[in-house]
Amino acid sequence: MNDAVPLWTSAEIAAATGGVASAEFAVTGVAFDSREVGPGDLFVAMKGEASDGHLYLDQAFAQGAAGAIVSEPCAHPHVLVADSFTALQMLGRASRARSGATIIGVTGSVGKTSAKEALFAALDRGAPGAVHRSVKSYNNHTGVPLSLARMPRDARFGVFEMGMNHAGELAALTQIVRPHIAVVTAIAPAHTEFFRDESAIADAKGEIFAGLEPDGIAIIPFDSPHRDRLTAAAAPHASRIVTFGIAKGADVRAIETVRLATGATFVTVQQDGRELSFTMAQPGMHWVSNALAVIACVEAAGADLGLAGLALAELGGLQGRGARFMTTLADGQALVIDESYNANPASMRATLAVLAKEPGRHVALLGEMRELGEASADYHAGLAEPILAANVEMALLVGEAMAPLAQALEGKVETVHVGDAAAALTSLRTILAPGDAVLIKGSNGVGLARVVTSLGGGKT
Whole-angstrom Cα distance, residue 420 to residue 412? 23
Task: Give the Cβ contact number of residue 335 at 10 Å.
Answer: 18
Q: Is 327 annotated as a binding residue?
A: no
Q: Is 108 annotated as a binding residue?
A: yes
Burial letters 253-288, b for 16+ CB under 10 A, else e: bbeeeeeeeeebbebebebeeeebebbbbbbbbbbb
- Residues found in the chain: 460
Q: What is the three-class DSSP state of 249? A: coil
Q: Is 113 annotated as a binding residue?
A: yes
What 3 state SS string does 186-225 have? Answer: CCCCCCHHHCCCHHHHHHHHHHHHHHCCCCCEEEEECCCC
Q: Is 174 annotated as a binding residue?
A: no
Q: What is the three-class DSSP state of 95? A: helix
Q: Is 111 annotated as a binding residue?
A: yes
Q: Of 339, 341, 367, 331, nearest to 355 (Cα)? A: 339
Task: Give the Cβ contact number of residue 169 at 10 Å.
Answer: 17
CB 30 within 8 A of CB 41: yes
Whole-angstrom Cα distance, residue 422 to residue 259? 36
Look up residue 15 and give its amino acid.
A
β-strands 437-441, 332-339 pairing: parallel
What 3 state SS string does 417-454 have? Answer: EECCHHHHHHHHHHHCCCCCEEEEECCHHHCCHHHHHH
Whole-angstrom Cα distance, residue 313 to residue 264? 8
Whole-angstrom Cα distance, residue 57 to residue 52? 10
CB 297 within 8 A of CB 102: no
Q: List residues bridging with 52 in a β-sheet.
A: 47
- Residue 63 phi/psi, 5-degree rounding, is -85, 0
Q: Of 108, 93, 102, nearest to 120 (Cα)? A: 102
Whole-angstrom Cα distance, residue 291 to residue 254? 10
Radius of gyration of the chain, Cα coordinates, nearest whole angstrom = 23
Alpha carbons within 13 angstroms on the beta-carbon side of residue 426 total 8
Please report, in range form, the residues annotated as the binding site: 108-114
Please report, in range form, the residues annotated as the binding site for ATP: 108-114
